Amino acid sequence: MGLYQVFFFAALLKTGVAVGTMITIGSAPIIAGILGKVLFHEQIDRKWYLATILAVTGCALLALPSGEIGIEFTGVLLALGAGFSWAIAGSSMKMLPDSRSSIEKAAMMLLLGSVIISPVLLFRDLSWFFSQGGALVVSHLSLMATALPYVLFALGITMIKISTAYTLTLSEPLTASCLGIFLLGEDVTGPVLAGIMLIFTGLLILSIRGKKPVCFHHRRKRISN
């Protein structure tokens, strides 16, 4: 989790917000799918492939209108490192014993991650932290944007496949786009609308549970009776 923070923000500086975010959140579900198959022997069906392709393509379309896009090889590698680190973090939480609650699992991951990157505090001006506005920002980021989402994620990955969980996290850019449109009055461009529809379709496909096949022999027997 600590490396994810380092890789992600370093990637944004190299490639820009649009490309760095797109590569990170787009690569994480793919890497998580591979880890799920290797570590947990999860079966990956065609529905997951289709849903992931649609959602990742939608994320790419949402990133297009964000401004000037620059591609730098080092930044791409950093963004992939962030996606890999994020996938490893979730897989590690899933490997923890079931006796540990979701709160404990999230606390372990976030605490160890914060310890890794804590030396950064020695080189930064933290005076804003003690202001009223700074305290409110920190409270929101720590509770609403970090603690609650990670606890829910830790709970979710105990119930569903790790590959499915990471594809569902692609709802994050979908939510951000909708909030920007309805709360901030941002323009709805063609790529944004197409991206929203693709992500929504991918998540919808992933959430539909397939029906169990009916044995022909049993079906014929019921008909004859």
Closest CA to 93 of 175, 173, 166: 166
Q: What is the tens place of the pLDDT at every residue in 106-147?
A: 998 889 888 988 888 888 888 888 898 999 999 998 899 888
Q: What is the tens place of the pLDDT at every residue in 178-196?
A: 888 888 887 888 888 898 8
Is residue 214's pLDDT more than 90? no
Question: What per-residue confidence (pLDDT) applies to 162?
Answer: 92
| Average per-residue pLDDT for the chain | 84
Cβ pair 25, 172 in contact under 8 A: yes
Q: Which residues contact 50 (CB under 8 A, 6 or more apart)?
A: 202, 205
d(CA 211, CA 205): 13
pLDDT-derived band at 219 (thresholds 50, 70, 90) equals very low
Question: pTM for the whole thing?
Answer: 0.79
Q: What is the tens place of the pLDDT at every residue in 81-96?
A: 999 999 999 999 999 8
Question: What per-residue confidence (pLDDT) applies to 189?
Answer: 83
Question: What per-residue confidence (pLDDT) applies to 3?
Answer: 92
Cβ pair 21, 12 in contact under 8 A: yes
